[in-house]
């Protein structure tokens, strides 16, 4: 069986990476748009409707425009943008989210893939909310360190142009506390209050880690770091792209530094529970690490396609 696949936004950061994944596949026929027609609405509509699966690797407004062009009921859209992640009628493209999500993605024709920061945040916290360890009313904060490819072509060009000394140091941003991932972070963890979320972009191409500090007193009374880790491990049992690391991961603690880039070029997410050796301070630090262009974007999009087509087990991602 061969599936026709079109990538709208094929020259962008996410689109190019999806093409690299698709190039390795015998079961995919890639539909390509001529370079000079990349933004021609008629030609885009023709290819979108000719596809079994169409990836939208576009700015939000262009994604909404593309979604409105679909008249073929068989075309499945997988949107990498922020446009549809909390919109009714769209299924969140994170198979590991909860029981039943894989089946929902299999059945859906409109799949909205998570943002890179949001993927890590949701995967770290959703199991704790589901297990009743963290109340849906909890007030949480999160920091994310990300490579500059998360900002797409324009940010990559800014960093790669060189010459601006300010870009050498990490740069906190979204300081208005209204980052565009907050709605999906709330909707898909079940948290009723937006986290205080501070992302930081650094002078490296890709790799991302979200950190969520928690006092044990914020969790269900009597909760221990081991129980937190157990809840995560139980939630992701059998998930091949999620690794729940040993408590206070001994390998990471050896030299005391965390490697934000260690999931690069994979579709993996590593989740950690750190804390003091004797638990006396009653605090933990949850961390989730991924490749922002892998499980944070293109890898996740291809995984969602595989789940939708029912070829997840047999083919690549």
Ligand X SMILES: NC(=O)C1=CN([C@@H]2O[C@H](COP(=O)(O)OP(=O)(O)OC[C@H]3O[C@@H](n4cnc5c(N)ncnc54)[C@H](OP(=O)(O)O)[C@@H]3O)[C@@H](O)[C@H]2O)C=CC1
| Contacting positions for ligand X2W (CB under 6 A) | 82, 115-116, 146, 148, 150-151, 155, 180-181, 199, 201, 296
Q: Taking Cα atoms as reference points, which of 102, 124, 121, 119 lies closest to residue 304?
A: 102
Q: Is the dihedral of CA 74, 79, 84, 85 positive or negative?
A: positive
Per CB under 6 A, the segment of 46-54, 68-76, 144-152, 278-286 that binds ligand X is 144-152
What is the spatial distance between Cα 10 and Cα 12, in angstroms, rounded to a whole number?
6
What is the spatial distance between Cα 263 and Cα 190, in angstroms, rounded to a whole number?
27
Q: Which two tokens stand for residue 39?
A: 């933004």
Residue 265 found at the interface with ligand X (CB under 6 A): no
Residue 150 found at the interface with ligand X (CB under 6 A): yes
Task: Give the Cβ contact number of residue 73 at 10 Å.
Answer: 7
**Closest separation in Å from C-beta 106 to ligand X:** 22
Q: Taking Cα atoms as reference points, which of 238, 239, 240, 258 lies closest to residue 248?
A: 258
Residue 116 annotated among the catalytic residues of the structure: yes
Active-site pick, 57, 76, 116, 263: 116
Q: Would you state the torsion angle of the CA atoms of residues 304, 65, 181, 94, taken in this order, to the nearest 10 degrees?
A: -10
**Closest separation in Å from C-beta 39 to ligand X:** 4
User: In the bound complex, which residue of the shown chain has the CB atom lying closest to ligand X?
Assistant: 12
255: burial class by Cβ within 10 Å (0-12, 13-18, 19+)? exposed
Q: Which residue in the set 3, 7, 14, 91 belongs to the binding site for ligand X (CB under 6 A)? A: 14
Q: Which of residues 80-109 bind ligand X (CB under 6 A)?
A: 80-82
Whichever of 6 and 121 has its CB closer to ligand X2W, that residue is: 121
CA distances from 38 to 6, 8, 98, 236 (A): 12, 8, 37, 40
Q: Which of residues 28-47 bind ligand X (CB under 6 A)?
A: 38-39
**Closest separation in Å from C-beta 187 to ligand X2W:** 14
Q: Which residue in the set 5, 6, 7, 12 belongs to the binding site for ligand X (CB under 6 A)? A: 12
**Closest separation in Å from C-beta 264 to ligand X2W:** 15
Whichever of 45 and 112 has its CB closer to ligand X2W, that residue is: 112
Whichever of 74 and 178 has its CB closer to ligand X2W, that residue is: 178
β-bridge mates for residue 307, sequence order: none
Whichever of 115 and 127 has its CB closer to ligand X2W, that residue is: 115
**Closest separation in Å from C-beta 177 to ligand X:** 19
Residue 280 near residue 300, CB atoms below 8 Å:
no
Residue 199 found at the interface with ligand X (CB under 6 A): no
Q: Which two tokens stand for residue 159?
A: 């960093």
Matching residue, tokens 């859906």: 108
Residue 152 found at the interface with ligand X (CB under 6 A): yes
What is the spatial distance between Cα 142 and Cα 133, in angstroms, rounded to a whole number?
18
Active site residues: 116
Note the residues at the interface with ligand X (CB under 6 A): 8-9, 11-15, 38-39, 57-60, 62, 80-82, 115-116, 149-150, 152-153, 292-293, 296-297
């Amino acid at each position: 069986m061969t599936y026709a696949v079109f990538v709208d936004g094929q020259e962008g950061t996410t689109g190019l990476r999806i093409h690299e994944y698709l190039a390795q596949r015998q079961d995919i026929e890639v539909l390509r748009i001529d370079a000079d027609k990349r933004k021609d609405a008629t030609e885009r509509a023709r290819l979108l409707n000719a596809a079994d699966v169409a990836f939208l690797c576009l700015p939000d407004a262009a994604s909404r425009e593309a979604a409105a062009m679909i008249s073929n009921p068989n075309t499945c859209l997988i949107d990498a943008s922020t446009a549809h992640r909390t919109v009714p009628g769209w299924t969140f493209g994170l198979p590991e989210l909860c029981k039943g999500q894989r089946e929902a993605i299999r059945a859906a024709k409109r799949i909205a893939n998570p943002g890179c920061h949001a993927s890590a945040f949701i995967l770290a916290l959703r199991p704790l909310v589901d297990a009743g360890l963290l109340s849906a009313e909890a007030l949480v904060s999160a920091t994310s360190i990300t490579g500059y490819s998360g900002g797409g072509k324009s940010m990559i060009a800014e960093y790669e142009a060189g010459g601006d000394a300010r870009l050498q140091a990490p740069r906190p941003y979204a300081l208005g506390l209204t980052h565009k991932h907050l709605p999906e972070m709330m909707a898909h963890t079940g948290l009723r209050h937006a986290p205080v979320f501070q992302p930081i972009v650094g002078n490296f191409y890709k790799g991302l880690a979200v950190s969520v500090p928690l006092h044990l007193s914020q969790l269900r009374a009597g909760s221990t770091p081991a129980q937190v880790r157990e809840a995560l491990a139980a939630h992701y049992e059998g998930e091949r792209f999620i690794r729940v690391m040993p408590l206070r991961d001994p390998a990471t603690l050896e030299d005391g530094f965390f490697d934000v880039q260690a999931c690069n070029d994979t579709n993996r997410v590593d989740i950690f529970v750190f804390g003091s050796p004797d638990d006396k301070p009653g605090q933990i630090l949850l961390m989730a690490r991924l490749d922002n262009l892998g499980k944070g974007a293109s890898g996740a999009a291809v995984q969602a396609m595989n789940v939708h087509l029912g070829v997840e087990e047999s083919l690549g991602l």
